[in-house]
Structure 1
Amino acid sequence: MSFFHSTVSRRDFMKNLGIAGAGIGAAAAAAPAFTDMADVISKAQSIHPKNPWYVKEREYLNPTTEIDWNKMERFEGGPYDPVKCLSTADYQKIMAEMGANRKNFILNNAPGKTLRDFALNMSAAAYPNAVIWGPYVKHARVKGYFLGEQGSVFTPQMLGVPRWEGTPEDNARMMRSVFQHFGAAEVSFGEIIEGKTKKLINLSTTDWGPNMRIMFEDVDKAYVVDDGKDLATGKMVIPNRCKSVIVFKIRQSQEMTKKGNSYIARSGSNKAYDQLAITNYRVKAFLNGIGYEAMSGGTFGITCARPGWGALFGMGELARSMQMIAPTEGPVMRATAIMVTDLPLPVTNPIDAGTNKFCHSCFKCADICPSGAIYKEPNPDFIQCPTNHSGGVPGYVAEKLKPETFNNSPGYKRWPLNHFACRSYWTVNSASDNWCIGACVFNKMDEATIHPLIKMTVGASPVFNGFFTNMDIAFGYDHQPEDKWEDWWNEEHKVVPMPFTNY
């Protein structure tokens, strides 16, 4: 991007677009000039932390805390918890007192010590017994994968207190906070509807294979039946009474997304998958802790991957690339997942931010896709992906490819994605499946004032859509060239604040 040095003000930019009306014009006038992006991205990472200008550097081994190394001695490690050093009788006494106080706090709704406060504390320290996503899922127990690590938290019944009760709206605000605390970028709420959204729940789990069935039954509690083997057979049962669905999205690194065909880019994707597992088991532990059930899976575990639930319930819109584009961070999401629960929740409505309409005239993702997997016709349709496609990989021809294998249902209008072409290309080439995400015009955060202004314009009218695509290309918003990928190791990386990641 070194070719681009902008001194154009936002006022002039918007004025050239002819849209400097009252609202947009005022916003453009208040904004400063563009930063020189070439200078910004050329700053390499120092071996020293970046500190404010007034911070002084001291001599080696000479901190502001005086140290007498002659008097310093090695510490004798031992029990960290002093309470555990007590006699058995004294230990039991103090633990009983702690339990009585905890119950009293919860029953009296003491500030910061209510049931949901205690459940949040427990679920933050809940650990799964095994990895629960992707290629390693066969090493996990199906029960823990589907229901969470039950037994790792106290339930209200174990504490001798009633479960948490709140209005659907209060519960929604609570769960949005919990999900964001545990790593989800955003949350919306849906419901399982017979004859409609229930059809979005898989018949079997992709993570475990076709012999592990997903079923609905008239039972009080969810349960799992499996043979305990790697190729599991059995069923995962969702109670019919569990109607609420929490939709959440897991973000991936934006900077890594632009590293093209590299392991660095795949690292950003894999970290997001890991985040999905962490968010899943911690939130399920929280819901157990306040007295409710929760069922979920991995990226493909119990529902179609990514966009469906999010597009239905206000998370974003379906894109040409079969990703979901959200108003805030565009398509920079590794997963849009769901969790089924019996916690009463409201539903959120779908949105129109102009992004689906934008895809009608923008072909940037399709043009950059190295496997030719993205549909290039202007308008979406009720069609499936091709049944035979090499994916640009010599010798890899899916002679018996079945569109239904990849959930290419003809039940909704979209630009079909050839999943085989996509997957075969990035598998054989050890590539990252980030090409379309990295190229998308909406792959922008709102840190620069101009980006939300453009999103606002797109949402109001499609008249400038083609222009914005061309500007995106001209500004160099694309994958970085291959000779720049290794620069990641020497660049300064901003720690993304919550709620986009939690570790």
Structure 2
Amino acid sequence: MFYHSTVSRRDFMKGIGLTSAGIGVASATAPIFHDLDESMDGSSNFKKPWWVREVAQPTAEVDWNSMTYFDSRQTMFNNDAFIKVIGLAKLQEIAKINEDNTKKWIQENKPGATLRDVALNNATGFGFAYGLEGHFVAPEIAPSPDQLGAARWEGTPEENLRMLRVAARFFGAKDIGVFELDQNTRKTVYSYESDGKAYTFENVPTAYETDTKRVIPEKTKYVVMFTILESEEMLKRAPDNINSATTTLAYNQGALTGNRLQQFLRGIGYQGLAEMMSNAIVQVAGGNVLSGLTEMGRMGITSLNPDYGPMMRTYKIITDLPLQPTSPIDAGMFRFCKTCMLCGHSCPSNAISLETEPSYKTLGPWNKPGIKNYYYDGAKCLVYWFEGVFGCGTCRAACPFGQKSKASIHDWIVKPVAAYTPVFNSFFTNMDTAFGYEPRDPDGFSPREKLHSWWDIENAPVYGIDTTRYTLKLQ
């Protein structure tokens, strides 16, 4: 394909005045940035920000040999695992604190903890929408091709990926990414679900479920990761009920989107194996990183998207529809985390690592080994969740990659420079501190909600999400 113009990394850095003072990044020769013709090339992948590189391996080092299958029941969101770490007496103590604080703060009319704030959060539910069930195997609702007297859909993996992305976007997803299950990447599938059922792989034509296991056919090897956006304006009010409400609503939206994708796959003649509950079947951060949706970040429990940072929830489906895998990415975010540390300094429970370098050393059974990462202390984190009544989310609110970034300086200076050199990362962090997330109040409540109430925002976008950066374009 003919390109009207190209720009090398050296020329790009030179153009923004960063070739002086011996900055070594300008001497690099790759990659080459093409003009818009490349993004319209039918053979190219779906659009990512122009400064995001696709790479063969994730930017966080992985030791597949030391990595084992991970039991979902070990996460701190499992009551039995949480009790095992902190003890039943401590759980009862913080549960009482939770109940007392809820009532006390309503009476005190605390910003983010008023009666209407609590009602908004409670109305969204958690995990799955009220009355909606999750299904490992899709229920027989949408007619299959056989029932319609038709052959199943057949397309190339590239065509199938494009089709599924268009459908997923229509159903409510922001992005999708795909990775293929092999001997190593199967380790992203949980060994056991939180309900005690094992995930196993068998050479069978269709998936099935028994009282003790959920069976994934060997041929069902394409993992589709899809993201659901959360409201940046609401998340920035963490920690409070307003922040929690957008997260719980995103879980609901993810469940609905997953159900719709299951039925779509059934309707074209393929299997779609989905989550029985939120945060199930495939580990979120690992799947996101392998599929190129995100890079790992300092928070440990979540990962970072180049466009919207940690401001999303992720759901997943495993299918036998042949799909073109999407590559891991390098946008400089994991490197940025080495010196940024805003999430760690903002964490009220001191659960986030403040070490400069990532490590293979885990902190507890809630951490999955085998990743050179910033591991977080899940027990400390969840104790604060209980005591704070409405969860937390302060780390995500503090992340510079979650800031509104409509201004051209973000997409043409800050993010591209951070993607290719760490030299200015500390400067960018300081600028974010000056213009970004407000520091937490001493009383632990949302400074943004105290300054201007979310309830006073007129003509807010649907779901509180500003989507003007992600307008509809012909592919």
Same fold (TM over 0.5): yes
| Cα 1:478/1:184, change in 2 over 3 Å | farther
> Cα deviation per residue 1:368-394 (whole Å; 9 max; x = unaligned)?
000111011100000112xxxxxxxxx
Q: Which residue in the other structure is 2:281 paired with?
A: 302
Distance 2:405 2:150 in 1: 44
Q: 1:466 aligns with which of 416, 422, 426?
A: 426
Structure 1 residues 498 and 475: alpha-carbon distance in aligned structure 2, compared to 1, 3 A threshold: closer
In structure 1, the residue matched to 2:455 is: 489
Q: Which amino acid aligns with 1:205?
A: E
Would the aligned equivalents of 1:180 and 1:498 in 2 still touch at CA under 8 Å? no
- Answer whether contact 2:156 2:322 (CA < 8 A) is retained: yes
Amino acid at match of 1:484: K
Are 2:421 and 1:442 equivalent residues in the alignment?
no
Offset at residue 311 of structure 1 (A): 1.1
* 1:258/1:432 CA distance change after superposition, 3 Å: farther
Instruction: Please tell me whether residue 429 in structure 1 is matched to residue 388 in structure 2.
Output: yes
Instruction: State the partner residue of 2:41.
Output: none
Change (3 A) 1:198 1:359: same
Greater relative contact order structure (CA < 8 Å, 6+ sep): 2
CA RMSD, Structure 1 to Structure 2 (Å): 2.6
Give the structure-1-normalised TM-score: 0.64
Distance 1:471 1:313, change over 3 A: same
Structure 1 residue 454 and structure 2 residue 414: aligned? yes
Aligned to 1:147: 137
- In structure 1, the partner of 2:303 is 324
Q: Which amino acid aligns with 1:481?
A: P
% same residue: 37
CA distance in 1, matches of 2:235, 2:13: 35
Rg larger for: 1
1:222-263 residue CA offsets vs partner (Å, 9 max, x unmatched) = 11223xxxxxxx221111111111121222111110112211
Mark the runs of 5 or more structure 2 residues left unpaired by the alignment: 1-10, 18-124, 440-445
* Secondary structure of 1:238 counterpart: strand
Change (3 A) 1:421 1:197: same
Task: Decide whether aligned partners of structure 1 residues 455 and 482 sit closer, same or farther in structure 2, where only a CA change above 3 A counts.
Answer: closer
Contact 1:183 1:498 (C-alpha < 8 Å) held by counterparts: no
> What amino acid maps onto 1:455 in structure 2?
K
2:205 to 210, 220, 227: 220
Cα distance change of structure 1 residues 447 and 476 upon mapping to structure 2, 3 Å threshold: closer
Residues 451/147 of structure 1: CA separation in 2 closer, same or farther (3 Å cut): same
- Whether the aligned pair in 1 keeps the contact of 2:129 and 2:252 (CA below 8 Å) is no
Q: Call closer, same or farther: CA 1:499–1:248 in 2, change over 3 Å.
A: farther
Amino acid at match of 1:238: I
Change in CA separation of 1:418 and 1:290 when aligned onto 2, cut-off 3 Å: same
Give 3-state SS (helix, strand or coil) of 1:189's partner. strand
User: CA 1:500–1:282 in 2, change beyond 3 Å: closer, same or farther?
Assistant: farther
Give 1:167 deviation, angstroms: 0.3
So what's the TM-score if we normalise by structure 2?
Answer: 0.68
In the other structure, the counterpart of 2:179 is: 190
Task: Confirm or deny that 1:165 pairs with 2:154.
Answer: yes
CA deviation after TM superposition for structure 1 residue 191, in Å: 0.6
Distance 1:445 1:338 in 2: 26
- Structure 2 equivalent of residue 257 of structure 1: 235
Q: Which string of whole-angstrom CA distances, capped at 9 and with x for unpartnered residues, describes residues 325-350 of structure 1?
A: 11111111123x32100000111211
2:168 is matched with which residue? 179
Residue-by-residue CA offset, 1:77-105 (whole Å, 9 max, x unaligned): xxxxxxxxxxxxxxxxxxxxxxxxxxxxx
Name the CA distance, whole Å, in 1 between partners of 2:448 and 2:161.
44
Amino acid at match of 1:426: W
Report the Cα distance in structure 2 between the residues aligned to 1:499 and 1:349, rounded to whole angstroms: 23
Instruction: Structure 1: state its 5+ residue gaps.
Output: 1-18, 26-132, 227-233, 386-402
The alpha-carbon distance between structure 1 residues 138 and 259, as it changes in their structure 2 partners (threshold 3 A), is closer
Deviation at 1:364, TM superposition (A): 0.5
SS at match of 1:320: coil
Paired letter, 1:431: F
Change (3 A) 1:166 1:466: same
Q: What is the deviation of 1:218?
A: 1.3
CA contact (8 A) 1:217 1:238 kept: yes
The code of the aligned residue for 1:214 comes to: Y
Within the alignment, does 1:357 sit opposite 2:342 as a pair?
no
Answer whether contact 1:380 1:415 (CA < 8 A) is retained. Answer: yes
Once the two structures are TM-superposed, the CA of residue 451 in structure 1 deviates from its matched residue by 1.4
Query: CA–CA distance in 1 between the matches of 2:295 and 2:448?
Result: 31
Give the counterpart of 1:333 among 312, 319, 332: 312
CA displacement, residues 437-495 of structure 1 (integer Å, 9 cap, x when unaligned): 11001112442212112111101211000000001011143465165266100113233
Contact 1:184–1:499 at 8 Å: present in 2 too? no
State the one-letter code of the partner of 2:273: M
> CA 1:163–1:478 in structure 2 vs 1: closer, same or farther (change >3 Å)?
farther
Separation in structure 2 between the aligned mates of residue 187 and residue 478 of structure 1, nearest angstrom: 32
* Residue 137 (structure 1) shift: 9.5
Q: Deviations over 1:107-162 (max 9, x none)?
A: xxxxxxxxxxxxxxxxxxxxxxxxxx956799876xx52123x2221110000000
Q: How does 1:340-379 map to 2 (within 5 A)?
A: 340-379=318-357
Structure 2 contact 298–373 (Cα < 8 Å) conserved: yes
CA contact (8 A) 2:202 2:218 kept: yes
Residue identity matched to 1:190: F
In the other structure, the counterpart of 1:205 is 193
Q: Match for residue 47 of structure 2? A: none
SS at match of 1:204: coil
Residues 229, 311 of structure 2: 8 Å contact kept: yes
Contact 2:358 2:373 in 1 (8 A): yes
> Hey, what's the Cα distance between the residues in 2 that align with 1:371 and 1:468?
25
Distance 2:263 2:468 in 1: 20
**Aligned residue number for residue 71 of structure 1:** none
SS of match in other structure, 1:327: coil
Q: Secondary structure at the residue paired with 2:336?
A: helix
| 1:419 to partner: Cα distance | 1.2
Match for 1:170: what amino acid? E
Residues in 2 aligned to 1:334 and 1:478: alpha-carbon distance in whole angstroms: 23
